[in-house]
């Protein structure tokens, strides 16, 4: 197959996306596919470039990838580097190359990659892609909306409120928020802009940090406990994985800096707890309408109480990512996982015919 792996974008997870894209592209080439790894925002050369036979030299046409920095990228600087300085999200020749592809593997994370906008655009262009559709992607990306749906489906989640940047009332008690609490962007990912607030004095600073990234934030109860994740592949839960940061919580640095976190899969927890977490993961995916693959993040209190934090519609596929580790524990190596995602996505379109 001719496959475009689409990475990059303009979210805080741009660097992570490149790592996912690079690993996926290498695995798919190993599986015998012709693969172009493309930066969705920067595009390919100039707009007038002939790309009609690009897959015949796909590796030469692909971008090269650097490592992940410890800090999220400077998006304003990234925008300034684009040659045509267009305000179009899709870079030169991106749509043309994607339309030539048998399938586009979405290796994008955060914002436009996971909020359904690209999926909706691709539906209109007749471009086939991996992962869930536009509506379920939008629901899952909005943490406030997904929390409401979790509650409807009986999936436990921390109590919380939404706050808008324009709101002047930042009084914790009046808003019904108790300390400690967690403040995070409503539609962000990779824990960028997330703060654990212990005192009222820190609350304003945490809001400012979250509002730097988005105009809406979630303020929710802080749950002290162990951190876990459960992947859902074609409607079935994968083995549970535990993430134990050596310092602090599972933030951007601890997620992507090798050696910062001890990850154990299958997680060393009672079997009934693992089954319950897997059941909640499948229920969360179902209520959001997620297809192909997804991943749910959980907290487990010492009392045994479980809380689902959020859904990930395009889970990371980097060296330190969770879903590939879970798949490996289920007997599915990385190239096989990539191939399975291709097969499931193709089947989704065949079922529509």
For the stretch 173-229, pLDDT in tens is: 777 788 999 998 887 655 677 889 998 888 888 888 888 888 889 899 999 999 999
pLDDT of residue 164: 86
At residue 191, the pLDDT reads 66
Listing DSSP states for 204-243 in one string gives HHHHHHHHHH-SEEEEEE---SEEEEEEEETTEEPPPEEE
How does the average pLDDT of the chain come out, rounded?
90
- 3-state helix/strand/coil string of 98-133: HHHCCEEEECCCCHHHHCCHHHHHHHHHCCCECCCC
CA distances for 92 relative to 40, 42, 97, angstroms: 9, 7, 10
CATH number attached to the domain at 140-156+224-331+341-348: 3.30.470.20
Angle formed by the axes of helices 271-288 and 134-141, nearest 10°: 120
Region 60-67: mean pLDDT is 90
Give the CB-side neighbour count of residue 177, counting CA atoms within 13 A: 24
As a whole number of angstroms, the longest Cα–Cα distance in the chain is 63
Q: How far apart are CA 111 and CA 128, in angstroms?
A: 20
> How far apart (Å, rounded) are the C-alpha atoms in residues 241 and 26?
25
How many CB atoms sit inside 10 A of residue 118's CB?
26
CATH fit for domain 2-129, picks 3.90.330.10, 3.40.50.20, 3.40.30.10, 3.20.20.70? 3.40.50.20
Delimit the domains of the chain by residue range: 2-129, 140-156+224-331+341-348, 160-221
> Which positions ≥6 away from 350 have C-beta within 8 Å?
none
Task: Decide which of 170 and 140 is more confident.
Answer: 140
| Chain segment 333-347, per-residue pLDDT in tens | 999 999 999 999 999
Mean pLDDT of all residues in 257-270: 85
In angstroms, the CA 310 to CA 284 distance is 9
What sign does the CA torsion over 76, 81, 86, 88 have?
negative
- Tokens of residue 306, six digits: 């479980």
CATH code reported for the domain at 160-221: 3.30.1490.20
CA–CA distance, 8 with 37 (Å, rounded to integer): 10
What pLDDT, on a 0 to 100 scale, did the predictor assign at position 240? 98
Does the pLDDT at position 247 exceed 60?
yes
Rounded average pLDDT over 253-266? 72
- Please state, as a whole number, how many other Cβ atoms lie within 10 Å of the Cβ of residue 197: 21
Decide if pLDDT at 353 tops 70.
Answer: no
pLDDT band, very low/low/confident/very high, at 257 (cuts 50, 70, 90): low
- Burial class of 151 by CB neighbour count within 10 A (0 to 12, 13 to 18, 19+): middle
**DSSP labels, 285-310:** HHHHT--SEEEEEEEE-TTS-EEEEE
Would the pTM count as exceeding 0.85?
yes
Closest CA relative to residue 296, chosen from 159, 134, 147: 147
Same CATH fold, 160-221 and 2-129? no
Cα 273 from Cα 51, distance rounded (Å) = 52
Q: Are 230 and 290 in contact (CB under 8 A)?
A: no
Q: What is the mean pLDDT of residues 278-306?
A: 96
Pick the closest to residue 119 from 338, 282, 289, 283 (CA basis). Answer: 289
């Amino acid at each position: 197959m001719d496959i475009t792996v689409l990475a990059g974008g303009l979210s805080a997870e741009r660097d992570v996306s490149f790592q996912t894209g690079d690993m996926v592209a290498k695995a798919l080439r190993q599986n015998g596919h012709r693969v172009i790894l493309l930066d969705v925002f920067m595009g390919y050369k100039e707009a007038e470039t002939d790309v009609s036979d690009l897959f015949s030299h796909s590796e030469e046409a692909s971008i090269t990838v650097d490592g992940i920095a410890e800090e999220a990228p400077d998006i304003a600087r990234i925008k300034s580097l684009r040659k045509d300085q267009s305000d179009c999200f899709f870079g030169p020749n991106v749509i043309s190359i994607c339309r030539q592809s048998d399938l586009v593997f979405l290796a994008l994370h955060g914002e436009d990659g996971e909020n359904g906008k690209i999926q909706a655009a691709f539906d209109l262009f007749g471009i086939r892609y991996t992962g869930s559709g536009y509506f379920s992607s939008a629901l899952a990306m909005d943490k406030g909306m997904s929390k409401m749906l979790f509650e409807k489906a009986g999936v436990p989640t921390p109590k919380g409120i939404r706050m808008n940047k324009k709101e002047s009332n930042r009084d914790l008690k009046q808003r019904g928020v108790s300390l400690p609490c967690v403040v995070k962007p409503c539609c962000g990912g990779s824990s960028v802009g997330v703060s654990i607030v212990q005192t009222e004095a820190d609350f304003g600073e945490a809001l400012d940090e979250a509002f730097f990234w988005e105009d809406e934030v979630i303020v929710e109860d802080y749950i002290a406990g162990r951190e876990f994740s459960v992947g859902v592949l074609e409607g079935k839960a994968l083995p549970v994985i535990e993430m134990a940061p050596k310092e602090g919580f599972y933030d951007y640095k601890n997620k992507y800096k090798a050696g910062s976190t001890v990850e154990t899969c299958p997680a060393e927890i009672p079997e009934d707890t693992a089954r319950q977490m897997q059941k909640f993961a499948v229920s969360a995916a179902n209520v959001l309408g997620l297809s192909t693959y997804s991943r749910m993040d959980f907290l487990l209190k010492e009392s045994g109480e479980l809380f689902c934090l959020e859904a990930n519609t395009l889970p990371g596929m980097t060296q330190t990512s969770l879903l590939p580790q879970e798949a490996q524990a289920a007997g599915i190596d990385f190239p096989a996982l990539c191939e399975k995602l291709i097969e499931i996505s193709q089947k989704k379109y065949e079922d529509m015919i």
